[in-house]
Structure 1
């Protein structure tokens, strides 16, 4: 942001934190579909108008909550090798399977709302892709990825598996899946 102030009262970080925490609590208890702005406001001890002043929809509130949580729980590892980095990154990512209802709800909202889709892509999906791309770029500089291997395709493969399993719930996203995907990527980069 350029430093210019938006109209209205400035955000209270305390209220913002309470709203995001309330959204996550509501999601855990009731899921994305049943989450409401009224419910978030009640849990957070703020008025609905406070939420609507800062976020246009519940999906936007949830997106901010998810982004804050991802920053805390899924770090960009630098373990010295692609194998170690992928193991750490995918392990942390796949441990977040309790977020499945949230992610599926946000993806569903993105399919229905083009405005939210843009925000979801730019602020969440592309940020997560960028983190993984950073791991691949370091591996390229260390000579761990063969010339001619397309790192963007590798990112697509990793997130393709993740999103396909999240959306269809046909196979687990667990430690074993994380290790199998790591091995698949390592074979592909040689």
Structure 2
């Protein structure tokens, strides 16, 4: 009698996890974060609620992991900002790429949901910052430090504060939808941040 191989629990778990990620992202995009529920995610993924609660304690936790996984699947792990020797051009290029990502339909709805939820959910907010934002902001810090070494940035400037001059206005305009966002806008942010407002 031929014995059947035992079911691969690891493969089954990974398949379920992937289905849950896909379901969470799809639902947030279709019905919005407030109407997305664990029950809805489970039904969409074809798993039981208990499967989700075995791995996550809330829909926010599910969405955060799904969003991080989405970035990994798309090959958007943190990378070094190119150093061509022209700091302004390098920063403009990475901010233009950021604009494209912010308005990518795959990313926009979950990113907005997690950002908003992180304001009222302290634990989620900390994880969102630690796992997603800080690694990306550190790239700007390293590029600005290289700019200091090359004499393009004053040596007394704190790069961690300086990066907020162009990153924070972009984030605020995106979150509040107060005005259009364009490449021209982000290019101008870089020019203002690097050259200041005083007459030259």
Measured against the shorter chain, the TM-score band is 0.7 to 0.9
Counterpart CA distance in 1 for 2:177 and 2:66 is: 23
The residue number in structure 1 matching 2:59 is 58
Indicate the structure (1 or 2) with the bigger Cα radius of gyration.
2
Does 1 or 2 have the higher relative contact order (CA < 8 Å, sep 6+)? 1
Q: 2:129 aligns with which of 107, 121, 124?
A: 121
* C-alpha distance after superposition, 1:145-181 (max 9, x if no partner): 2222221112222332123113321012332222222
Q: 2:82 aligns with which of 75, 78, 85?
A: 78
User: Would the alpha carbon gap of residues 19 and 135 (structure 1) be closer, same or farther in structure 2, given more than 3 Å must change?
Assistant: farther
The residue number in structure 1 matching 2:155 is 147
Provide the aligned length of Structure 1 versus Structure 2: 181
User: Would the alpha carbon gap of residues 137 and 12 (structure 1) be closer, same or farther in structure 2, given more than 3 Å must change?
Assistant: farther
Q: 1:91 aligns with which of 90, 96, 108?
A: 96
* Structure 1 vs Structure 2 CA RMSD: 2.6
Provide the TM-score with structure 2 as the length reference. 0.76
**CA positional deviation for 1:75:** 5.0
Which consecutive residues of structure 2, in runs of 5 or more, have no partner in the other structure? 1-8
Provide the TM-score with structure 1 as the length reference. 0.79
**CA positional deviation for 1:129:** 1.7
